[in-house]
Structure 1
Amino acid sequence: MSLKKRALTGLFWSTLEQFGNQIIGFIISIILARLLLPAEFGLLAMVAVVIAIGNILIHSGLTQSLIRSGDVDNRDYSTVFYFNLFGSIFIYGLTYALAPIIADFFGQPELIAILRVLGITFIIGAFSAIQSTRLNKMMDFKTQMIVSTPSMIIGGVSGILLAFYGYGVWSLVYSRIIQSTASTAQLWFHSKWQPLLVFDRERFKKHFGFGFKLMLSGIIDTIFMNAYTIIIGKFFAASQVGFYYKADGVRMLPVRSLSQIVTKITFPLFAEVQNNNAQLKSIYQRIMQMVLFFVAPTLIILGVLGEPLFRFLYTEKWLPAVPYFQILCVGGILYPIHSYNLQILNVKGKSGLFLKLEIIKKVLLSIVILISFQYGVFGLLYGSIIVSFLSFFINSHYSGKFIDYPAWEQVKELSPVLLIAMLSGVLVYVTDILMIKNDAIDLFRLLIGGLIGVTSFLLIAQIFKLSIFKELKTIVLKRK
């Protein structure tokens, strides 16, 4: 199968998987948010930081090395499998021992039991990491969809039933464990891969040499990405963490959906053309513009309609999350661009530079947090926007050197999409103000506002003959 055909086939199944799972996950989150309190989501958010760091330590970037390398065989896969498995047992033991200290840091005694139970997912996930990696490398996203969708449904339904019967935050914990178990069992059944009884030290050194730097980058990135959760959890009430957690989750829903779809395709795709800079730049340009074409108007329109959106979906108790959500939407626009810039460094094998950039950005983030913290939660959120824009210029400057695509050129090509999206947002805002004056119900405000936003964005893009819009129309309207 040709590279183009593999990419298109992978894109189809990846899109189907991501949108299907996001819709299912979104419905589940709505039901759980109506059954549970913001403080209970806040407790899970505090634990999620620790779990994320643990998963990075377990995988150590080795799975990314397997995807990037072109000459891997079963010895490579088996070696990484055993490292992940024994590493997960060690990390779980460490988490179990540190649980009281972590709970004391947040001032939440309930976190001790939650961490010790949820940490079991480290070991469960380690059993299927290689199966998932092999499917990614082969761009077999059809099998991944067959696995992930039923797993999410099983875990989600379990969580809803437990929440209905009053299990509180434990309904979220057990839901994660059940989903992870279901996913691992299915991956073993569908992948047909089993490890050899071998651990090759030379191959481990090879993958660990590349992945170790990515692991350090991942740990730093995870800590600082969750810096706001950590700080809010330390100095504010658990309900505030819950509001932030939900606002960030809704903000990231469209961003992560599209980013994960494209990222699954782009990393192995970039890896195959890593030595052809002209082709790599061409693919990167089109993907970046295409992603922003969907992300920018979506976040801006949702941000404008934040109040009716949260009240309609989650009820009045979640309205304090609305201003959090609106601020976060601004910073989220550049999120996928960060990811693709850094992918260029990875496929070029520049994991050392990747780590260096992560350290530089985190120093900047620390400075911004120290300054903005004195202004409370909203100071922190506005500071996150500043960090997002600074990070874009740092990432694009260095990655652009490898494919002759400097930051100023990226800004020049992205600006028309951003300006049109902002103009559409203004039209939605004016329309919504008129509907508020007429006491329109939330569902009506969402439908009319969304329709005005999408229609105006597409119409303006057509009037100004936006290049990426023309290309998308060609793809959609193309006849075989």
Structure 2
Amino acid sequence: MNVKKKTLTGSLWNVVRTFTISFIDLFVYMYLARLLTLEEFGVLTFCLLIVEFANMLTNVGVNQNLIQRKEWDLSYFSSVFTFVLSASVVLTFLLGLIGGGVAFYTHSKLAALVILSLSILPILVGLQSIFSAKMERDFLNKEITTIKGSAAVFSGLLTITLAYNGIGLWSVVVGKITQHTVVLIWFFTKAKLKVSLSIERSHLNEITSFCLPLFAIAVVNFLHGKASNLYVGLVLGAEKFALISVSKKGTEVLSQLSITSINKMIVPSMSRVASEKKVAAFYKVLHFTSLVVIPSFLGLGAVSEKFILLSFGAKFSESAIFLQITTSMIIAQTLTWFLPNLLISEGKTKDALRLKLISVIGSVLVSGCTVWFGVEVMLISMTVASYLIMPIIVSVVKKHYDIELGKMIKLCLPSIISSFVMITAIKVAEVYLDLYSIPLIFDLLALVCVGGLTYAIMIMIFFRSSVGEVVGLLKKNQ
């Protein structure tokens, strides 16, 4: 099997894995949103946000470093294992000490206890990344999907069962720890790699030089994606924090199912593509992604009110407008999402960090200055800023690759135009459906069908050549 076919197959398995995990997480999230009060749900999302940050720091860069190396070196693996284990232990300690303290003084004793209990997760997640790197390097995405998917299903059922029996927030704690413990043990068994606690100075230099910029990128990414949530929680309180967290859950799941799944394959695939062919490969990925991602996000925004009511209940109805504004950023995000990993695939991690810094500075500054005027004003301002910084981001990449923003936009135009026609059709259909007493779930399904059919018809009639190019690309990878 050639690299192109492995990449395509790996991407499909990534989608399956991400869909399974995201679906389970979303279902549990929706169940707990209905079960808990707004304040309790705000405490839960705050705790999970802090733990997510710690988990992200444990495996950043290390996985990519092991994947992009030309040859697998067992001694280097041992050095990476020792490095990650040490870093994870430190992060676990800091999470319990600092995260628990912040939760205690800003929320409650319960929040502090929840974070202390979850502080073991950085160790479990960090070690998972080491063993999964070898499997990803060998394109064993099917095995990874089986392991992570099975663990997610089991932990999801366990969490719901415990929550149904009155355990409350602690059901999430038990479910998360169980899930990541099972995955780690399974990965360790499947990878069959000898583990030794040793680290060589030369290896340490390589690890730090490659990973430190990616470590900074991860921090920047987190701040870029979560700064608005944190500002809302600190300035506007736990209830508004719960509302904006719910509004972003739908876009997070869509991102994981689409862009994130494809993005995970960019480094292992691009690192094996000749430098002179990387721009062409990037354009193909962008073209394919735009046809799927842009209509999905804009369509979600168009049905946001009914989606929120059905998924989370009437008490979260205010989240609908937040979701609609957030999804409008997707065109700018699609155009720039893959650029950092394009640079990382060539080992240009410092410039990849520069891209992220540009995004996060805009996001943090804009959200920090506008959150005082309300969530809606903050989100609208962030949306405008995301489009204004696009040319700056592309200009950084142009130092290494001959990419053109105009061509990137042109590749996305078929999906953009068709998506706006789709939104119009959804809004017209919504007016007529509201005249009848249709159950909410069937109302939402009808709107999704109208939107999907409208988009498909537009693409096939007016932009058939774009579909033909993507189909041709897929056939070449078979």
**Could you tell me which residue of structure 2 aligns to residue 123 of structure 1?**
123
Name the stretch that deviates more: 333-342 or 292-301.
333-342
Q: 221-230 or 363-372: which moved more? A: 363-372
Is the 2:64–2:267 contact (alpha carbons within 8 Å) kept by the matching residues of 1?
Answer: no
In the alignment, does 2:296 pair up with 1:291? Answer: no
- In the alignment, residue 312 of structure 1 is paired with which amino acid? L
Deviation at 1:100, TM superposition (A): 4.8
Partner of 1:168: 168
Please tell me whether residue 29 in structure 1 is matched to residue 15 in structure 2. no
Identify the residue that residue 59 of structure 1 maps to in structure 2: 59
Distance between the aligned counterparts of 1:294 and 1:60, measured in 2? 27
Contact kept in structure 2, 1:78 and 1:196, CA below 8 Å: yes
Q: 1:197: Cα distance to partner?
A: 4.2
Query: How far off is 1:8 after superposition?
Result: 2.9
Aligned twin of 1:329: 327
2-structure distance, mates of 1:295, 1:402: 27
Asked whether the equivalents of residues 372 and 383 of structure 1 are also in contact (C-alpha less than 8 Å), the reply is yes
* Whole-angstrom CA distance in 2 between matches of 1:335 and 1:475: 23
- Give the 3-state SS of the residue equivalent to 2:337 in structure 1: helix
**Separation in 2 of the partners of 1:366 and 1:21?**
29
Q: CA deviation at 1:143?
A: 0.9
Q: Which runs of 5+ in 2 are unaligned?
A: none
**TM-score normalised by L of structure 1:** 0.93
Give, in angstroms, the shift of residue 149 of structure 1: 0.9
Distance 1:224 1:102, change over 3 A: farther
Are the aligned partners of 1:81 and 1:130 in contact in 2 as well (CA < 8 Å)? yes
Partner amino acid, structure 2, of 1:65: N
Structure 1 residue identity aligned to 2:392: I
Structure 1 segments unaligned to the other structure (5+ residues): none
Task: Tell me the residue number matched to 1:182.
Answer: 182
Describe the SS at the equivalent of 2:403.
coil
2:425 is the counterpart of 1:427:
yes
Is contact 2:89–2:123 with CA below 8 Å preserved after alignment?
yes
Amino acid in the other structure paired with 2:213: K
**1:168-317 paired onto structure 2 within 5 Å:** 168-273=168-273, 275-277=274-276, 279-317=277-315
Of 298-307 and 147-156, deviating more is 298-307
Q: Which residue of 1 aligns with 2:142?
A: 142
- Partner deviation per Cα, 1:134-158 (whole Å, 9 max, x = no partner): 1122221011011101110121111
| Aligned-partner Cα distance in 2 for 1:60–1:314 | 32
Map Cα deviations across residues 262-298 of structure 1 (whole Å, 9 max, x no partner): 122222111111x432x21222111112111111111
Helix, strand or coil for the counterpart of 2:288? helix
2-side partners of 1:196 and 1:47: how far apart?
34
Question: Equivalents in 2 of 1:477, 1:370: separation in Å?
Answer: 47
**Percent of aligned pairs with the same residue?**
21
CA–CA distance in structure 1, aligned partners of residues 145 and 166 of structure 2:
32
In 2, Cα distance between equivalents of 1:182 and 1:125: 11
1:236 and 1:105 map into 2 onto residues whose CA distance is: 16
Q: C-alpha separation between the residues in 1 aligned to 2:362 and 2:17?
A: 36
Post-superposition Cα deviations, 1:355-408, rounded to whole Å, max 9, x if no partner, equal: 233333333223312432231111111122123323433333322443311222
2:387 corresponds to: 389
2:86 maps to 86
Q: In structure 2, what is the equivalent of residue 367 of structure 1?
A: 365
Q: TM-score, normalised by structure 2?
A: 0.93
Native 8 Å contact 1:309 1:442 kept in 2: no
Q: 1:100 to 1:254 in 2, by over 3 A?
A: closer
Q: Which amino acid aligns with 1:322?
A: A
Separation (CA, whole Å) in 1 of partners of 2:216 and 2:107: 28
Question: Does the 8 Å CA contact 2:227/2:363 hold for their aligned counterparts?
Answer: no
Cα pair 2:294 2:334 within 8 Å, conserved? no
Residues 341, 399 of structure 1: 8 Å contact kept:
yes
